[in-house]
Amino acid sequence: MIDHKEFRAIKAFVFDVDGVFTNSDILITDQGEMLRLMNTRDGQGVKFALDNGYLVFIITKGASPGVRKRFELLGLTEIHDKVSDKKEVLLDICQRFGLKKHEVLYMGDDIPDLLLFDEVGISSCPADAAVDVLTQAKYISPLDGGKGCVREIIERVMRIQDKWVV
């Protein structure tokens, strides 16, 4: 169980995409285009975080112009896609932005995300993450990937820090 003190220290959110912002399903068109669904409340949560001074980063192995455009429209400037070494990117982000380990929350849903769990203060995942991720995450959202888990964790942190918008 995580202490509220750990949530109070968070200054930055780092998210994987597939399985976190999406439900892991990909619709493939006859033209080979890969389509994903994203939850609008997750997007609004990202905007709330940015508007309140939090740093928000995306680190994903995937690559999709539509996904990139969605994040750019939300105001994200640090969208790291086509990443082969997520840990290297995370450590670079922390160095460039002067973030200490305990100030960073990471949410991922599958085995490649486990490498980042030891590099952040709070490792988290959606309720439907891979079994190995569920057993190692410090915090498990009650919501599934693509079903509001991003908004839930952002709102939780902001409420604990008395920064929630309402």
Does the pLDDT value for residue 166 go beyond 80? no
Take residue 12 and report the two structure tokens written for it: 């930055």
Average of per-residue pLDDT across 121-147: 97
- 31 located within any domain: yes
pLDDT of 35 reads 77
Residue 65 makes CB contacts below 8 A (sequence gap 6+) with none
Does the pLDDT value for residue 1 go beyond 70? no
Average of per-residue pLDDT across 137-165: 96
List Cβ<8 Å contacts ≥24 apart for 110-115. Answer: 110/16, 110/19, 112/61, 112/86, 113/16, 113/86, 115/86, 115/87
Does the pLDDT value for residue 2 go beyond 80? no
- 166 located within any domain: no
Instruction: Judge whether 145 and 109 are in contact, CB under 8 Å.
Output: yes
**Domains held by the chain: number:** 1
Take residue 116 and report the two structure tokens written for it: 């980042």
Please give the Cα distance from 28 to 110 (Å, whole number).
21
pLDDT in tens, 87-113: 999 999 999 999 999 999 999 999 999
Helix (H, G, I), strand (E, B) or coil at 122: strand
pLDDT in tens, 22-74: 998 888 889 888 878 889 999 999 999 999 999 999 999 988 888 899 999 99
Choice among 60-64, 112-116, 136-140 with the minimum mean pLDDT: 60-64
Does the pLDDT value for residue 114 go beyond 90? yes
- 165 located within any domain: no
- 152 located within any domain: yes
Share of the chain above pLDDT 90, in %: 84
Which domain range does residue 19 map to?
4-160
Average of per-residue pLDDT across 109-128: 97
- 127 located within any domain: yes
* Among the listed residues 6, 16, 42, 24, the one whose alpha carbon sits nearest the alpha carbon of residue 149: 42
Question: Residue 107: which CATH number?
Answer: 3.40.50.1000
